[in-house]
């Protein structure tokens, strides 16, 4: 099979994997509240926490990570080029944000981006994690933690490219995935600027009103 065709195929595969609405699937399988009925109506982990509680939200988060890892791992095994691997991961993040199965609605793409990056450069995830968790602990803003971690992950991935551990094409994943995450958080950014963003309460099992950060 021609290299270009392999690469295009896995970009499509990445988008389809990313489009799987894990929050909705978990809600239906466990007869829990659909995360789309809470807050912003997003399907990611933070909204799942409010709609379904911590255990189901953890399941949603892990499945969202898996749907980022799977297409990138398959692309590598199938012999996709470095650019094809990078774009398959970016396509998965786009799918998580604009799901084909939810009329182009979805989550923020953060967990799916983490999953893809775990395959492309797992140490980048490890090094960006303190930014994510540290920001949330300090501010209790999941959105701010996601934004800063996405930006730092690009810089960290660039450092790995400069050191020769990653192909320069992998930077396309970092830049595109971070751009999608920032676009998906645009409403959060506006609320952060206005001082109206909602802080996460990890003790809460479910909540009916107010905007979600995920």
- The answer to whether the beta carbons of residues 205 and 133 sit under 8 Å apart is no
Q: Is residue 199 part of a domain?
A: no
In a domain, 178, yes or no: yes
Q: Provide the number of structural domains found in the chain.
A: 1
Q: Is 201 part of any domain?
A: no
Question: 3-class DSSP state for residue 203?
Answer: coil
Q: Is residue 203 part of a domain?
A: no
The answer to whether residue 204 sits within a structural domain is no
Q: What CA–CA distance (Å, rounded) separates 109 from 98?
A: 9
Please tell me the predicted confidence (pLDDT) of residue 203: 58
Is 73:119 a contact under the CB 8 Å cutoff?
Answer: yes
At 77 the pLDDT is 97
Full-model pTM:
0.91
8: Cβ contacts below 8 Å, ≥ 6 apart:
84
Taking the C-alpha atoms of residue 212 and residue 214, their distance in angstroms, rounded to an integer, is 6
Q: Which domain holds residue 129?
A: 3-194
Residue at 209 is within a domain: no
CB 93 within 8 A of CB 106: no
Please identify every stretch of the chain with a pLDDT value under 70, giving residue numbers as ranges: 202-214
DSSP string, 107-122: --SHHHHHHHHHHH-H
Does residue 171 fall inside a structural domain? yes
Burial of 140 (0-12, 13-18, 19+ CB in 10 A): middle
Domain assignment present for 64: yes
């Amino acid at each position: 099979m021609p290299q270009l065709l392999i690469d295009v195929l896995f970009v499509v595969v990445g988008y389809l994997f990313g489009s799987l609405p894990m929050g909705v699937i978990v809600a239906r399988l466990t007869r829990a509240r659909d995360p789309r009925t809470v807050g912003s109506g997003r399907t990611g982990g933070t909204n799942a926490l409010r709609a379904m509680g911590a255990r189901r939200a953890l399941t949603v988060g892990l499945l969202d990570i898996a749907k980022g890892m799977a297409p990138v791992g398959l692309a590598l095994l199938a012999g996709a080029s470095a650019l094809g691997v990078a774009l398959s991961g970016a396509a998965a993040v786009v799918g998580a944000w604009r799901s084909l199965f939810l009329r182009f609605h979805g989550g923020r793409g953060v967990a799916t981006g983490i999953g893809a990056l775990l395959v492309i450069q797992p140490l980048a995830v490890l090094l960006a994690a303190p930014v994510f968790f540290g920001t949330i602990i300090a501010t209790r803003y999941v959105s701010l933690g996601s934004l800063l971690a996405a930006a730092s992950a690009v810089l960290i991935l660039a450092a790995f490219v400069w050191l020769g551990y990653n192909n320069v094409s992998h930077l396309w994943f970092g830049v595109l995935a971070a751009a999608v995450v920032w676009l998906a958080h645009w409403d959060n950014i506006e609320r952060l600027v206005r001082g109206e963003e909602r802080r996460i309460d990890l003790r809460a099992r479910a909540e009916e009103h107010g905007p979600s950060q995920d």
